[in-house]
Structure 1
Amino acid sequence: MIEVRDLTKRYGNRVAIQGVTFTVARGEIVGLLGPNGAGKSTTMRILSGFLPATYGTVRVAGYDVARESLEVRRRIGYMPENNPLYPEMRVVEYLRFRARLKGLSGRRARERVEVVLEQCGLTEVRRRLIGQLSRGYRQRVGLADALVHEPDLIILDEPTIGLDPHQIRSVRELIKGLAGRHTVLLSTHILPEAEMICHRMLILWDGRVVAAGTPAELEQRWSADPQVMVEVSAPAAELEAFWSGRPEVASWEMAPAEEGWWRCWLRPAGAQDLRPLVYGWARERGWTLRELTRRRYTLEDIYVRVTARREEEEAEEEEV
């Protein structure tokens, strides 16, 4: 659905994005992650045809964004970060107006408006003035606007910014429901949100893609030393001596869990999973295990590792 190759945007001497390359398959939900200024909004504006690239190629549904802009726009629904709405219009009037602007006939426009009102949970406020709606409902109106012409691709720039937890959950579930029928590209700096919504992630840093993949792929790549936590009932001195003497255990920490139980954190010497080994050691020595788990790295953990590594690389380049 989306093919981006070597996308670059310059503003004079400032580079907003440089050499960005990625693809998005039909029906996927893909997140663009990164801090403010990383290039997320610039990338989305180029994809949607609102901003020309300095160089590079972008194709949406097989059409070149630069040379076939009108065909691309017909296939895109775009909701920018600052959702522009007409506060003096009623919800249903605004959506019908937007549907006609997007080329839908009178009858077809009315049919699609009824569909997106239901889909976005706006039926009860259809006659309300947009200016009287809560922030959450206004986000829903913007999403309904993006959906009204049945686009192949939906681009959402910070779709839950400024919402309260209940509104965020509601909008999140709405976006998840679009998968399959639509391709969704969304930007966010709320990492847990991306983890719950997106099939794949693209992490941008200083205008470049520094990591990409599914949450599982990113965890596998950036969690080379998976830590194991074990709760075990055994003498403390015996545990300390045993962990210190095992070549498979690179480092370890212990803390009392409760009387007779110890919580131990073990880091492997390589990339191996220590859990089968710990289970076997406990059986051999007659220890009682209560818990044996491998630490799961969150998207936030991975993001911090990726960006910290990038900062170190940039610092080394400056020194040279």
Structure 2
Amino acid sequence: MIYTLMLASRNSSSHPVSFVLLGIPGLDSSQFWIAFPFCAMYAVAVLGNITLLHIIRTDLTLHEPMYLFLAMLAVTDLVLSSSTQPKMLAILWFHAHEIGYHACLTQVFFIHTFASVESGVLMAMALDRYVAICFPLRHSSILTPFVVGKLGAVVMLRGVLWVSPFCFMVSRMPFCQNRVIPQSYCEHMAVLKLVCADTTVNRAYGLFVAFSVGGFDIFVISVSYVMILRAVLRLPSSEARLKAFGTCASHICVILALYIPALFTFLTHRFGHHVPQVVHIMFANVYLLVPPMLNPIIYGVRTKQIQDRVIQGCCGKDS
């Protein structure tokens, strides 16, 4: 028994100084060039979301529920992309593979917290579209700025409370001598695979969080859009139906851009043992970068008020 304990202590370390992020294993010779499109997408995400926030902040006519939720989404996208991309670019361009133990856990916290917040904001936006289409005369009285703020606070609090135990539980577990994480950022399941202890509770809690957050949000979004569809199909004119569908189209695109790669990444980590590692890692990067890049573009193209403000700012034209 004593020998077993000594062997375990020799093969594990409670708090490693750092971890090693490999970047994109399998594409080592191409990593330098792969970084350029990632950098371009990150630049578009930062510029697009900051522009969106500036337009919503300065235009008082956009201080409505839809645009306030859109501002929350932009802030979330900035945090989500910035929590991974600078380090990933440093790995791909400058071979800065090492990341400190506490920096890694901080990255885990921000990635999962703000992924949860993004899902919650999309759910709140679906509820906003439901109220706007099904109860148009009561929309402003139901979704007041105070209610919008409370929804945002609840979504943020849920993310922090649900994700914090990830970091707490992992920080109290012994780690093996292997410190290599075969991807470009620290993610809960990837860090958990380096633990030299039984991780059943951690994995079970991860599934609980995934289904209680993602599952609940997808259910609410689905019910909202079923109700919206029923209400739209009852509208008397085809023009009114097209206009109603148009207001929801951008939101549906944003939902699909987030949930499809997110579900693929989540399921591959747990069940996709036959999925090539390079495919899994590329999807993991896409999941945290493409939605933040696409969201301001989609809303900028689909929303006339934002489009007009961008044109006015760039070209000096009146809307």
Give TM class, smaller chain: under 0.3
Structure possessing the higher radius of gyration over alpha carbons? 1
Report the structure, 1 or 2, having the larger helix content: 2
Report the structure, 1 or 2, having the larger strand content: 1
**TM-score in terms of structure 2 length:** 0.23
